[in-house]
Amino acid sequence: MLRRFLICFALVAAGCSGTAEEQKKEDPKPVDYTYAPQDEYRSRNLVPTKSAPENVLIKDATIMTATGELIEDGDIWLREGKIVAIGVELDAVEATVVDAKGKFVTPGIIDTHSHLGVYPTPGVRAHADGNEATSPTRADVDAIHSVWPQDPGFYTALQGGITSLQILPGSANLIGGSTVTLQMHPGVSSRAMLFEGAPRGIKMACGENPKRVYGNKGGPSTRMGNMAGFRKAFQGAKEALDGYERHAKNVGKAKAEEGADTPPDPKRSRANETLMAVLEGKTLVHVHCYRADEMVQILELADEYGFRIRSFHHAVEAYKIRDVLAKWDVSVSTWADWWGFKIEAHDAIVENAGLLQEAGVRAIIHSDSATGIQRLNQEAAKAFYQAKASGLKVTENDALRWITANPAWALGVSDVTGTLDEGKRADVVVWSAHPFSVYAKAEKVWVEGVREFDIEKGAPEWSDFKVYQVPEAVR
């Protein structure tokens, strides 16, 4: 829909629009500002990629489905990008057989919080594209425009079993911009990596970062300034939304009254329209927020403007308000054990995820790191075993869901991925050992049924940046 708008806009800009008469002949229509899933509103895929989903039967593995079911010596059949069947001693027609005796199979790992591509390696200034830190509310920017698909970190993340991930703008801004959900297919353009059908997301940030960045740049310089900044932005969006609704009514009236003039379009603003989509519940809201008291303030803000928070990110104090978060059905994306780098991260505890789980909150272990994303299984393991040692009621399946089903929900893609279920996307990992073991390696990774990584085949490096950078003789 927006694409239509964009094309229309392009034509106007190029001075090729139809004549005035032609336009008048059309029925007056309200401006369509609603945004569809992320792939539809973005421009056409100019650089299509090849994708060859396998017909493959993975045999005799311990299958951890993340649905609560554990199948010993189980088989899983992938065809045409989907999981066709899961069971014991399956018969799969014309399928390539992968012997996975002694191996473990899980859903593809999903990370709700990554800056791969927007803060790629090497970490040079010229590559630092994650924070549009020129003013504190930048709902108009979009992370996909900063994603550098040649970031070597994508391939190493895939080797850690990651099949999809959300790339967010940084946390310098109160409203950092749109996020993008990617899947692990390589491509020259980041468009090749778009997760088809994923809803749109937006990144907001409270606490120390915005006030630090803008303290000497016109504010906000305090937490109350942060909240004022949020309210100002959403108030503006609310008024814009009212304006669009008035416009739609006027269009309706003009239609009804023969010969009436078509009302002029409202003034378009990408920033407002992005926030309007938030107000209308069409965009999932991800908020970087450490402290419990600030999370409560953000919930109040959302309540005031009538939208929902999909996930609090980092949220090291979420355990203090886990009953509230359960009631409001807000997921929490956090680390296993990061803490101490700033005062708002001082009260982190390793049991955070476990306590949230116990209280019925969808807990998620995220990475926020090009290194951590390669071992989310281990991060989940750390949080899981610490929770168990502290006597919390968590199961291995719960902990597996922290890096599969729950992040899938936070990104709005849980109906198509995140668990091993028949009919879901074939996002599947074969591990050399139990994925919570420090020694486990992701040996084979299928993304939508495409075997994007196989440890035995030693596939070529995705990133052009890595090509012939060091003498080959010493390799």
Partner 1 sequence: MKKLILTVLLTLIATPASAQFVLKGGEIHTVSGEVIPKGSVLIGKDGKIEAVDKVVLSPPGYEVVNCEGKVITPGLIDINTSLGLGDIWAVRNSVDGDGGTENDKIRSAFRAADALNPNNVAIPITRTGGVTSIVAVPWGGLVSGQGAWVDLGGENMFSTLVDPYVVMSMHLGESGSNAAGGSRGLAMLRLRELYDDVAFFKQNARNFDQNRSRTLAASRLDLVALQDTVGGAKPVFIEAQRASDILAALEFAKAQKLKPVIVGGAEAWMVAEQLKEANVPVILHSMSNLPFRFEALGNRGDAVDVLHRAGVNVLLSSFESHNVRNLRQYAGNAVRTGLPHDVALKAITLGPATALGKDKDYGSLEKGKMANVVVWSGDPFEHSTRVERMFIAGKDTSLDNRQQRLMEKYRNLDRRAEPAKPGYEVENKTEREGPEPTTLEAKVQ
* HEC-encoded secondary structure of 396-420: HHHHHHCCCHHHHHHCCCCCCCCCC
| C-beta closer to partner 1: residue 104 or 230 | 104
Q: Is 439 in the site for partner 1 (CB under 8 A)?
A: yes
Q: Return the residue matching tokens 């789980």.
A: 357
- Spatial distance between the Cα atoms of 170 and 337, rounded to a whole number of angstroms: 20
Q: Shortest Cβ distance from residue 304 to partner 1 (Å)? A: 9
Near partner 1 by CB under 8 A: residue from 178, 334, 374, 404: 374
Nearest by Cα to 155 from 457, 428, 446, 374: 374
Rounded to an integer, what distance in angstroms lies between the CA atom of residue 445 and that of residue 454? 7
- CA pair distance 89, 361, nearest whole angstrom: 36
Positions 86 through 145 that interact with partner 1 (CB under 8 A): 104, 121-124
Residues 6+ apart with CB under 8 A from 79: 53, 54, 55, 56, 92, 95, 426, 449
Q: Is position 424 an interface residue for partner 1 (rule: CB under 8 A)?
A: no
Q: For residue 232, how many other CB atoms are within 10 A of its CB? A: 13
Q: Which of 274, 283, 378, 404 is the binder for partner 1 (CB under 8 A)?
A: 378
Whether the bond between 220 and the residue before it is cis, its omega within 30 degrees of 0, is yes
Region 172-231 residues binding partner 1, contact defined as CB under 8 A: 208, 212
Does 389 interact with partner 1 (rule: CB under 8 A)?
yes
Does 436 participate in binding partner 1 (rule CB under 8 A)?
Answer: yes
What minimum distance in Å lies between the beta carbon of 342 and partner 1? 4
Q: Does 346 bind partner 1 (CB under 8 A)?
A: yes
Shortest Å, Cβ 45 to partner 1: 28
The DSSP code for 58 is E
One residue of 204, 348, 408, 413 binding partner 1 per CB under 8 A: 348
The residue (of 88 and 389) whose beta carbon lies closer to partner 1 is: 389
Window of 131-139, 190-198, 236-244, 385-393 that interacts with partner 1 by CB under 8 A: 385-393
Select the residue interacting with partner 1 from 18, 360, 423, 460 (CB under 8 A): 360
User: Nearest distance from residue 444's CB to partner 1, in Å?
Assistant: 16
CB 240 within 8 A of CB 202: no
Could you tell me which residues are beta bridge partners of residue 205? 288
CB 155, min distance to partner 1, A: 10
Q: How close are the terminal C-alpha atoms of the chain, in Å?
A: 51
Select the residue interacting with partner 1 from 35, 38, 41, 62 (CB under 8 A). Answer: 62
Among 49, 67, 189, 262, binds partner 1 (CB under 8 A): 67
Structure-token pair, residue 212: 């630090």
